[in-house]
Structure 1
Amino acid sequence: MPMKRRPVLKGIGGAMAGATLAGCTSMFSGDGSAELWHEFTDSEEETFDGHLETFNEDADQELDASGVSSMDEQLETALPANDGPMSFTWAHDWIGVQHENGNLYDGSDAFDVDLEGTYTEAAADAVQWEGNVYGLPYAAETVSLMYNKDMVDEPPETVSEMVDIMEREGEYGIGYPGDPYHYSAYLQGFGGVLYDEDADELGVDDDAVVEGLELIRDNIYEYSPNDLEEDTNLSVFQDGQAPFAVTGPWNLGDLRDAGIDVGVAPLPAPDGGEPTPFTGIQMWYLTSRLEEADDAVHDAVLDWAEWYTTTEDVATTNAQDHATIPVLQSVVGNGDLGDDVGAFSQTVDMGMPMPASKKMDAVWDPVESALDVVLGSGGDPREELENAAEQIRDSWK
């Protein structure tokens, strides 16, 4: 399955453990109910619950929702058994794998919405695969730089400036989860691309990607807790031990709830390069369970996807409360959405959409293993990336 990017951000004593299954004794419905799955953090879930309540007030068929952990593993088990959700929310990059696995439902002839006339071009493209429309989009996102305003007056524009601050502020300099998704900005920061979906070319072992990994080793990981785990890296920022963190908008609300005065800024540029992070389009997927769903359930789920993704108040509230970047054309460019959205938007503009091809599924783990060996054990960047590339190409055969 594709890579997991959204961690459960744990506070002291577990106070911030998000995205749990609440008020539900069984993970799978199995009863034909119109169930939605999500993996929102606590802060996101509170907002989502309000939206769902509003929708249900006027709906002929009420929808249920469950927060689940390990979404990819749950879907892999549930959907082939005709169980699990009628719809779930995640970034667009799962669309290729879920299509190949037969887990999706084509809503091309069921939706009333005009994709190209309603959403941004990138968002409209993201929900389509091989002529099918497998859901509707509601936000763009990526990871960006967060800084503690009590420790940093002005966010750095370059990696060199960031290093200067990290050397003098905090027990650690930065909390930066050590996986290919979070590190993509700098792995691809000198013109390299881990996987070029359009050209169907692997770039993991290119000189430019090697240079990016060397930058990470020498200028970022050195100032981190020397741990690749997300929880550890986010905790040092949350606890005031580091002036910086790199994460996505999904963690912003919970970090502020923990008492950190968080600012958001575009990712700093390396000398001679430009951060190029992977970006995602969040969407409500339609699952294969809709094929045999009751008419009332089928229609309610599609109505939900249309309502959630085309209601301006939903897009605006999500942006203002969680810094999600609207993809609804009527809201895009709204100057009242706040500085957080502006900063994340700048970083999205720097980036590239995550490949949705199933071939990308074979890239994540070998690259993550290379990062672990290089950063955790002192391995040679070129050698480890070449090993990763060989493993990936073998798996493609």
Structure 2
Amino acid sequence: MKRRPVLKGIGGALAMTSLAGCMSYFSGGDSSPLWHQFTDSEEETFESHLETFNDETDHDIDAASISNLQDQLKTTLPAGDGPMSFTWAHDWIGTQHENGNLYDASDEFDVDLGETYTEAAAQAVQWDGNVYGLPYAAETVGLMYNKEMVEEPPETVSEMVSIMEQYDGDGEYGLGYQGDAYHLSAYLQGFGGIIYDEDADELGVDSDALVEGLTFIRDNLYEHSPNDIQEDANISVFENGNAPFVVTGPWNLGGFRDAGIDVGVAPLPTPEGGEPTPYTGVQMWYLTSRLEDADDDVHDAVLNWAKWYTTTEDVVTTNAQDHAMIPVLDSVVGSDELGSDVDAFSQNVDMGMPMPASKKMDAVWEPLESAIDMVLSSGGDPQEELESAAEKIRDSWE
């Protein structure tokens, strides 16, 4: 049964909703209705937004930072526990839908998705005709550089290699580049390949173009990075001033600046004969099946939060200025107040393609990343490893 539409405005109308009698739920920690996995710098801004929301609406909603968010959701939501809303990129929407973990608010938001958000963002929060949340930012990876080590960011990979070679050795590296499929997608798919074509339902992991992409990464990029594909090793060499470049997303920008690095953000350099094609995501506040049985005041508070956070221009602008979160709120997109970081990341989004949201993609990540690891860390042959990964993926689909 559909609830009544509850979001008729921000301000006085929302302030009429109180949480009397429900304070035991809003008690903090894992019992919080909102879950996230923001970085430290992002969390500080988020908490400020949440405090403002509570002050303006007379709510007393709180949130929890959850490590291993995906694993926690897998166990809590099917058991009737966990959050009523959580934030992550849109690519989980298909799996969470199939698992019955989401709440359809199609008839409850008075927001016209197509008129309020960008077209890509409006589409990202919908699945199988249902509205499972609201979007607040687009994101992808980009090239960050230390301005004390690099005067001008390179436009091509060959220019980038020339700079990286100056820093290889003696505890320094040319590049920090986390070796998972998401971060490497720009160059894996940089020669015309697609890891998984969701529209055509075709796997491209073992295509000649993907083989070319992985070979390119091995021969041109990975040899300049730490001999470790894990995140910490590649983030730390840049954060400690021991590498001129890092390929990562806006979520790490604040941490680098807190560490005293004078960071610039640039479009991903172009490989000879190709174009960077990174995976892109739309960050959203998901609504979970916990809302089905929630008390009306708790239910309304969570939906009020999702609308307030994603449609309040000050929130969206602050997120862009402080953390390079690319706005998807139409009234803010293109604003002169967003800064150069957002402009650079926006160029990377324009290069890319949305992450597949189909549940079938769940079977792709691990075999593909195992193949990448074998090639980059153990000297495996790109074609053999990608063909083996593709076979495992197709077997799991069957």
* TM-score, normalised via structure 1 length: 0.92
| Corresponding residue of 2:267 | 266
Conserved? CA contact 2:133–2:306, under 8 Å:
yes
1:262 Cα shift? 0.5
Alignment of 1:173-184 (within 5 A): 173-184=174-185
One-letter amino acid of the counterpart of residue 334, structure 1: S
Post-superposition shift, 1:345?
0.2
1:235-261 Cα offsets, whole Å, 9 max, x none, are 000111110001100010011000110
Alignment of 1:292-303 (within 5 A): 292-303=293-304
Equivalent of residue 61 in structure 1, options 47, 59, 62: 59
Deviation at 1:26? 7.3
Show the counterpart of 1:88: 86
Q: 3-state SS of the aligned residue for 1:139? A: strand
Alignment partner, residue 336 of structure 1 = 337
Task: Report how far residue 28 of structure 1 moved.
Answer: 3.1
1:28–1:83 contact (8 Å) kept in structure 2: no
Conserved? CA contact 1:87–1:284, under 8 Å? yes
Q: Is the 8 A contact 1:61 1:296 kept in 2?
A: no
1:59 CA displacement: 2.3
Q: How does 1:118-157 map to 2 (within 5 A)?
A: 118-157=116-155
Aligned to 1:291: 292
Give the secondary-structure state (helix, strand or coil) at the position aligned to 2:137: strand
How far off is 1:60 after superposition?
A: 4.2
Residue in 2 that maps onto 1:363 = 364
- Hey, what does 2:109 align to over in structure 1? 111
Residue 94 of structure 1 aligns with an amino acid whose one-letter code is W
Could you tell me which residue of structure 1 aligns to residue 206 of structure 2?
A: 205
SS at match of 1:284: strand
Deviation at 1:388, TM superposition (A): 0.4
Choose from 98, 101, 106 the match for 1:100: 98
Q: State the shift of 1:81 in Å.
A: 1.2
CA distance in 2: counterparts of 1:58 and 1:311, whole angstroms: 12
Q: Matched residues in 1 for 2:149 and 2:309: separation?
A: 38
Instruction: State the partner residue of 1:77.
Output: 75
Secondary structure at 2:380's aligned position in 1?
Answer: coil
Per-residue CA deviations over 1:320-377 (Å, capped at 9, x if unaligned) read 0000100000000012211100000000000000000000010000010001110101
* d(CA) in 1 for partners of 2:378, 2:37: 32
> How far is 1:35 from its partner?
1.3
Distance 1:188 1:359 in 2: 19
Gaps of 5+ in 1: 1-23
1:42 and 2:40 matched: yes
Corresponding residue of 2:281: 280
Mapped partners of 1:94, 1:243: distance in 2? 33
Per-residue deviation, residues 199-248 of structure 1 (Å, max 9, x unmatched)? 00000011011000011000110000111000000000011111000110
Partner SS, residue 151 of structure 1: coil
| Structure 2 SS opposite 1:275 | coil
Q: Map of 1:211-290 to 2, 5 A cutoff?
A: 211-290=212-291
The structure 1 segments of at least 4 consecutive aligned residues displaced by more than 6 Å after TM superposition are none
1:91 and 1:252 map into 2 onto residues whose CA distance is 18
Query: Letter of the aligned partner of 1:389 in structure 2?
Result: A
Between the aligned partners of 1:142 and 1:347, the Cα distance in structure 2 is 7
The question of whether the paired residues in 2 share the 8 Å contact of 1:157 and 1:269 is answered with yes
SS in structure 2 of the partner of residue 169 of structure 1: coil
Q: CA deviation at 1:169?
A: 2.8
Q: Confirm or deny: 8 A CA contact 1:151 1:169 kept in the other structure.
A: no
Question: Is contact 1:156-1:268 (8 Å) kept?
Answer: yes
RMSD: 1.1
* 1:12 alignment partner in structure 2: none
SS of the residue 1:136 aligns to: strand
Task: Indicate the percent of aligned positions where both proteins have the same amino acid.
Answer: 76
Amino acid across the alignment from 1:96: G
Q: Residue deviations 1:269-306, cap 9 Å, x none?
A: 10010000000000000000000000001111111100
State the shift of 1:64 in Å. 1.0
Structure 1 position 395, deviation (Å): 0.4
Distance 2:29 2:276 in 1: 39
* Cα pair 1:93 1:356 within 8 Å, conserved: yes
Task: State how far apart, in whole Å, the 1-side matches of 2:28 and 2:181 are.
Answer: 33
1:28 aligns with 2:26: no
SS at match of 1:325: coil
* Residue-pair matches, total: 370
Partner of 1:312: 313
Q: Does 2:187 correspond to 1:189? A: no
Higher Rg of the two aligned structures = 2
Give, in whole Å, the separation in 1 of the partners of 2:155 and 2:59. Answer: 50
Q: Alignment partner of 1:84: what SS? A: coil
* Aligned amino acid, residue 342 of structure 1: D
8 Å CA contact 2:28, 2:62 repeated in 1: no
Counterpart of 1:107, as a letter, is A
3-state DSSP of counterpart to 2:35 = strand
- The alignment's TM-score, normalised by the length of structure 2, stands at 0.92
Instruction: State the distance in 2 between where 1:103 and 1:395 align.
Output: 22
Contact 1:227 1:376 in 2 (8 A): yes
For 2:6, the equivalent position in structure 1 comes to: none
Whether the 8 Å CA contact 2:90–2:284 is kept in 1: the answer is yes
Q: Secondary structure at the match of 1:221?
A: helix
Aligned to 1:20: none
1:80-101 deviations in Å (ceiling 9; x for gaps): 1111111000000000000011
Report the residue type matching 1:92 in the other structure.
H
Shift, 1:150, TM fit: 0.3
Paired with 1:136 and 1:210, the residues of 2 have a C-alpha distance of 37
